[in-house]
Amino acid sequence: MGSVEQFAKQQQFRSEIKLLPKFNRTYGPGHTFWTGALHDGRDRGDKPYYCPVGWQRCSFYVADRFRERFRGCCICYHGTKFEYGLAILLSGLKPAGAIAHGPGIYATPSIIYAAHPRYAEIKEIEPKHQNEYFKNSKYIQFVLECRVHPSNIKIGCETLGAGAATIDPNISNQKIEWVIETNGKNIVDFNDVNAEIVCTGLMIRATQEYPGLLPESKWWSP
């Protein structure tokens, strides 16, 4: 009966997304902001973590004793389409279909790279949805914030054809894609705290200007 009870508990967990509002953040001058790699004494693995300027973070509850369970895990981002977002959050991520750097789940340490429309779909906000949260904004994107242990990361170069253009001033174009080993799984369940990659938050960017016209998006057009 133990396995049946465990399965039932997992299905109940999957039916809801648990939020952790105390870790919600707005990133940028006047809010949560820093320059260069963050050194605040908190464990984020062996890869640097840079301020995701212009984004808001909606934090998810993942597990009790989070810092203990995910000791050594690095922060990365995964862009996706709106139609896939809820299914991913409730069920997990599938390995990529395009495998330029080999099989696995593709992510990046750069939210600037993850925000490219090939990864993070751009939606126009209808006037009826321009409420207090999206006030004065016309466009919205979202990106998944994830944690992954460095032993599961294979580092590769960009695959969007940016050429000599600098994508992210903090991260080399040659090291901007991460391939996460899935150990043969067809889907990596975010509700499994022992999964190769887990989702810790939803990053949201709502802008008045079309995202492709923002200064950090100049590389979209080589």
pLDDT of the residue at 94: 87
- Mean pLDDT value of segment 40-68: 95
Distance in angstroms (rounded) separating the CA atoms of residues 77 and 106: 9
Domain count, the chain: 1
Model confidence pLDDT, tens digit, residues 95-140: 888 789 999 999 999 999 999 999 999 999 888 777 766 778 999 9
Q: Exposure of 94 by Cβ count < 10 A (0-12 exposed, 13-18 middle, 19+ buried)?
A: middle
Tell me the CATH number at 60. 3.90.228
Residue 1 clears pLDDT 70, i.e. is over it: no
Model confidence pLDDT, tens digit, residues 56-79: 999 999 989 999 999 999 999 999
Show the domain range for 153. Answer: 2-220
pLDDT of the residue at 92: 86
pTM: 0.89
pLDDT of the residue at 98: 77
